[in-house]
A and B are shown apart, each in its own frame.
Chain A
Amino acid sequence: MIWSDAPCWTTCWNGGNNFQDAVRSANIEFYMIQHIWMENDCNFADMLLPITTKFEDTDIATDGDNGAYNVVFYEENAIAPRGEAVSDMHFVKMVAKRLDERFGNEPAFEDIYNKYSENDRSDDEWLKLGFESNIASEKMTFEEFKDVQSYVIPTRENWEEEPAGLIGFYNAPAWFPLSTPSGYLEYYSTALAQVFPDDVERGPIPRWVDESPEHQDRITSERAKEYPFLLVSNHPHWRIHAQFDDVTWFREIQTCKITGPDGYKYEPIWINPVDAARMGVKTGDVARLFNERGSVLGGVYVTERIMPGVVYQDHGARTDTIVPGYGGLDRGGANNLIAPSAVTSKNCAGEVTSGYLVGCEKVDVFALAAQYPEQFNRPYDPDTGLIAESRFNLD
């Protein structure tokens, strides 16, 4: 069984198509997802639980990333929960309660509800517990904090006298060594040289590697004969990665979505006029990007903003799966599905989601729709995309 919360394996990273195959394996008896939105991975679940957004939850939050002062916030809910949605924790409590009721006599699940919920601690009590572990609790009570709703954590007393950063190492490296094996800044990693001496992709010093056992995505590679374009794919202009693919005011902007001849809003593929002329495509046509890992569709945007031999399509679009799995077809343009499956090296995680080889050709989207009638006729609103009632109906 797989139990997942807010999953995004299909479009966020590489290997999404392998993931689509994996979760459909007979070895997985059951796949349960709890998530806010009906999107992407949710279409592969056996059971789907609606979860609240931040707007519906009362919570406590911190901001330690702004680079200035750390802040702790009290976030009251802005609206009541929609439908039957509950928070992640509440849903897990519901599962714990059922386990307790049905299997509470077994050692593994004995008293599991009370253990998980800490004797049914309320949301407010949880927030108070969190607050009391924060330095803000030295200045005010939880009730006072709920009133002012935020606390800016002040700088430490005499912070100006504290040594800055690596100043110790700078002044006396022998006395304040770094945590590297040599104690020095290492441009050549002595640890990597010792532990992974045979790693041709991720060696002790970064260097250009033209081709390797794990990666052949150069235009000089053998694979480039069949897949002659390099794909430039960025964190998208009009989304925050895989979120906000459904914003109506963005989707009517041409660099966000290209409306195809079938009225569907496709993820733009930028093609230089030189290549477009040879391919016989113009702005508004539908094309596919493909390699051995599968195909994704996109809307052609003929432009000089990309050079010949290169095509451009941002990643993170919501999947609209026509054929799932490795070698499949996605209408949404979620090109991470066809990104290289291999990570950086056998010893090092790291993904490639731009600068890899693809083929690009025009497709007859009406012929595809005739070939996959059910998949091409899901409930759909061009302004916003696939709607909550859309189903992938995978077997």
Chain B
Amino acid sequence: MKVIKFDANRCNGCYNCQIACKDEHCGNDWMPYAKAQPDTGSFWCRVEERERGSVPKVRVSYIVHMCQHCEDCVLMAKAPEAVYRREDGLVIIDPAKAEGMKDLVDACPYGAVYWNAELNLPQKCTGCAHLLDEGWEAPRCVEVCGPGALTYVDQEELASEGCEQILPDADTKPRMVYANLPKRFVGGIAVDLQADEVVIGAKVQLQNKKTGELLETETDEFGGFWFHQIEPNEYSVFVSKEGYTTRVIETSTVDKDQNVGVIEMFAV
């Protein structure tokens, strides 16, 4: 069975997928799978721009959201007469039977369902079922993805590692696979204010306060350092260089990415 895989390392936020989905469905009736999507307000495929950190340690991660075509689909449980699964695993809201079922919108924990007020219908991604029936190899969103962030892969061929869920704690058995979703980073800059210089080549150690694990790097030409893709946790940051007092900064990435800011180094 084929599933959509999203690799966050490859997504550059071009929005081709979001726009292609609209191109396919806005103003187009694809019965029996879907009636036309309204021109605006529905995002059956949606790009999230997740801003992280603070100046000058800033990153934007782009994450694509859509129906997960869950094996334990909440909508199917709630309205089995109006929501069904195809043999290829795609979950379809039957437009002929789902009229008026507004509660399906809030029922989906992934926020994948949108209300079409004009047609009085809940609507969502169909996995481009109508195109697959015609022999297309993949849905529109996958077809238009230039960087190859969205791919259409055999579920059986996926390695078990590196496969993540967009909602890690959900128990709906989502069939969409994510890889390299952003975790947390810690970044900062070491400076010698007395000398009015950044400190290059300082040793920076990041200690996970729960596990004791130590990561190490060096400050760059701008005196800066990054630790990427670390777990949300409490950390200590040690900055040391010969000729300077070692500095220790406490930080937590439990809630968000951290720019620990300017760390002043004092010459001995």
Contact = CB atoms under 8 A, between A and B. Distances in A.
Taking residues whose C-beta sits less than 8 angstroms from the other chain, chain A's interface range is 10 to 19
B55 A307 contact: yes
Given A248-B39, A383-B39, A308 B19 contact: no
A249 B39 CA distance: 7
A254 B56 CA distance: 22
Contacts of B55: 272, 304, 307-308
A32 B41 CA distance: 39
Contact of B41 (A252, A254, A255, A307): A252
Interface in B10-66: 15, 18-19, 22, 26, 39-41, 49, 51, 53-56, 58, 60
A307 B259 CA distance: 14
Main secondary structure of the interface of B (DSSP, over half): mixed
B40 A249 contact: yes
Contacts, number: 31
A305 interface: yes
B40 A252 contact: yes
Contact of B40 (A248, A305, A307, A308): A248
Contacts of A250: 19
Contacts of B26: 249
Chain B interface size, under 10 / 10 to 19 / 20 to 34 / 35 or more = 10 to 19
Interface string A255-286: 10000000000000000110000000000000
Contacts of B18: 249, 253
A254 B13 CA distance: 13
A58 interface: no
A190 interface: no
Contacts of A252: 40-41
A383 B38 CA distance: 12
A305 B18 CA distance: 22
A248 B39 CA distance: 7
A249 B19 contact: yes
Contacts of B19: 249-250
A216 interface: no
Nearest to B55: A307
A53 interface: no
A254 B49 CA distance: 10
A218 B66 CA distance: 46
A189 interface: no
B38 to A, nearest CB: 10
Given A255-B49, A383-B40, 18 more contacts: A248-B39, A248-B40, A249-B18, A249-B22, A249-B39, A250-B19, A252-B40, A254-B49, A272-B55, A273-B54, A304-B53, A304-B54, A304-B55, A304-B58, A305-B58, A307-B56, A308-B55, A383-B39
